[in-house]
Amino acid sequence: MKKTSGRVLELLGLLQTRAEWTAPELAARLGVTDRTVRNDMGRLRELGYPIEAERGRAGHYRLGTGAKLPPLLLDDEEAVAVAVGLRTVTGVAGFEDSGGRALIKLEHVLPDRLRRHIASLRDATEAGPANTDSNVEDPAVDPGVLTEIAAAIRDRRGLRAFLRHDEVDERVEFEPYRLVAWQRRWFVVGRDAATDTWAPYRVDWLTLRLPGGRSFTPSAPPGELTELVVREVARTGWAVHARLVIDAPAEEVLARINPAVGVVETRSEGRCVLVTGGDSLEVVAVWIGMLGLDFTVESPPALVDHLRVLAERYSRALVGEET
């Protein structure tokens, strides 16, 4: 049988992984009797941990809140997963320093065996460039702003902010419902109570005005909120927006694009309109080229100029071709 101290720590770790446990379940996991489980629960209470017990046929134990913060007990796979996740987040704009600090703290408290596992994983792996599909630097988002927005969502409290887009600041006020991370951008999905319209707001374009708005009673969203972000960003949320007439039916275009790339509108005579966008003219031009279909640019004029420059550049690159 395991020593009492080690068994009690393992018991505490099990209580952290699930909301409720019955005594027989815990006894089976620890290889002890129900009576030993009851005694160990008493030891945890003596140490200041709020152990709650429900008696009866459906009785169970749970770890309550308050009194003392229990030690964070992770098994091997959990510790490695957390370390890898923290190393990943250090590559996200705005989280480089805080993610790195958290990783250092975690590695300091890990057993030597696990620390060696994580070090070998770190030394044996390498991440590719994080910005392979855009020539625009990822926007940094203040973790404090994300925390404030998340708290407003939790507390059903409206947000007041300045929304900066195209170098213009617009006052906005909305009810926040969900934070969505997509395409290395953060969006908060909100409802404008005055107009009953739902829209995603880019967090790096928001400057929160404190105090926030009034409390609100949640309304039913118009569908899945992540899909709303993808759809609306393709239509209105890019730095560069483009309307392209494609010389192919809508079905063919939809079969060639990721739904996140844009919105397709049917036109007559076997053609359609693709409404898309990107972080820059260069990115949009690359996406259009990957479509592999003839097209005409309806807007913006700057995209026409950029494609003209590309056409001349590619023409000059044709070796042995007479001009």
In a domain, 19, yes or no: yes
The answer to whether residues 82 and 57 belong to one domain is no
Is 173 within the bounds of a domain?
yes
244 and 279 part of one domain: yes
Q: Are 41 and 89 in a shared domain?
A: no
Exposure pattern of 119-140 as b/e (b: 16+ CB <10 Å)? eeeeeeeeeeeeeeebeeebee
Q: Do residue 106 and residue 156 come from a single domain?
A: no
d(CA 207, CA 239): 18
For 208-239, give one letter per residue: b (16+ CB within 10 A) or e.
beeebbeebeeeeeeeebeebbbbbbbeebbb
pLDDT given for residue 240 in this prediction: 85
Name the β-bridge partners of 181. Answer: 186
Domain for residue 321, yes or no? no
- Which among 189, 223, 257 is the end of a domain? 223
Residue 276 lies in a domain: yes
> 305 and 266 in one domain?
yes
pLDDT at 131: 41
pLDDT of the residue at 275? 87
Task: Look up the CATH number of the domain holding residue 259.
Answer: 3.30.70
* Domain residue limits at 88: 76-124
288 shares its domain with 253 = yes
Is residue 133 assigned to a domain?
A: no
CA 81 to chain centre: 17
Predicted confidence at residue 136, as pLDDT, reads 60
Does residue 256 form part of some domain? yes
In what helix (H) or strand (E) does residue 180 lie, and over which residues does it extend? Answer: strand 168-182
User: CATH number for the domain including 57?
Assistant: 1.10.10.10
Are 94 and 141 a contacting pair, CB within 8 Å?
yes
Q: How many domains does the chain have?
A: 4
Question: Do 81 and 58 share a structural domain?
Answer: no
173 and 210 housed in the same domain: yes
Could you check whether the bond before residue 300 is cis, i.e. omega within 30 degrees of 0? yes
pTM above 0.85, yes or no: no
Task: Report whether 52 contacts 62 (CB < 8 A).
Answer: yes
Distance CA 166, CA 27 (A): 63
Alpha helices in 92-191 (DSSP H): 96-109, 112-124, 143-155
- The answer to whether position 304 is within a domain reads yes
Pair (278, 304) in one structural domain: yes
Q: CA triplet 104, 108, 112: central angle to 5 degrees?
A: 130
Assess whether 31 and 81 both reside in one domain: no
pLDDT per residue, tens digit, the chain (323 aa), is 567 777 888 888 888 778 889 999 999 999 999 999 999 999 888 877 888 888 877 678 988 865 454 555 667 777 777 776 666 555 555 566 666 677 776 666 666 777 776 666 665 555 444 444 556 666 677 777 888 888 899 999 999 999 987 678 899 999 999 988 776 678 899 999 999 999 999 898 999 998 888 999 999 998 888 888 877 776 666 778 899 999 999 999 988 887 666 788 898 888 999 988 887 899 889 888 888 999 999 999 999 999 999 999 998 888 655 54
106 plus 161 within the same structural domain:
no
Instruction: Please report whether residue 49 resides in a domain.
Output: yes
Q: Give the pLDDT score at 223.
A: 86
